Amino acid sequence: MQSKNNISKAATLMVAALLFYSFTTIYVLSAKDWKKIEKNAKAIFNTEVLNFSEIENIQNLGATRFFKINDLGYLAFDQAPSKFHKFEYYVIFSNKADILKVEVLNYNENYGVEICNKRWLKQFQYINTSSFFSFNNSIDGISGATLSVQSISAHSWKVTEKLKTYLKLK
């Protein structure tokens, strides 16, 4: 009987998990995505050995995924809307939640694709994250990519806020 109960419990949990999963769309990082992230993280932290450990006890995690990178910094992986679709991007942070890098991994339409420009994304490096006003104000607009610029700005700021709360930096 006990084993039967365990089976039913397990089944309940599995069904609940499946149902929960059907509500949240969690993007699965591909091997290609990881390769890009690792390459950049190695260059940023000047190390060959990287260990990513996922952090799950962050408040209001939503669809964002956080990883601790050795004892050197953090990685956040997130999705944000462009004009018609969603794009995937990641942020590498220092231990103090300074933004060291933002890169777009996949962009699914032509509208607003200009935000993938690496030189444009460089302006996020060590950007002032004390308030959304100053953060948003220091990001240059791109003609024809208004919605995607707004989107990556707002989302990367939110991600930074989540990490800061977790690190008790605010």
Q: How many residues bind other proteins (CB under 8 A)?
A: 41
In this chain, which of 3, 5, 57, 60 binds other proteins, going by CB under 8 A?
A: 5
Among residues 13 and 169, whose Cβ is nearest to other proteins?
A: 13
Helix, strand, coil % (nearest 5) of the chain?
45, 20, 35
* CA 21 to each of CA 54, 59, 81, 125: distance values in angstroms, whole numbers, following the listed order: 18, 18, 20, 34
Task: Give the shortest CB-29-to-other proteins separation in angstroms.
Answer: 13
Query: According to the binding rule CB under 8 A, does residue 21 interact with other proteins?
Result: no
Query: According to the binding rule CB under 8 A, does residue 125 interact with other proteins?
Result: no
Stretch in the footprint of other proteins (CB under 8 A) among 45-53, 70-78, 90-98, 112-120: 112-120
Provide the edge-to-edge strand list for the sheet that holds 52-55: 52-55, 65-69, 73-81, 86-94, 99-106
Query: According to the binding rule CB under 8 A, does residue 104 interact with other proteins?
Result: yes
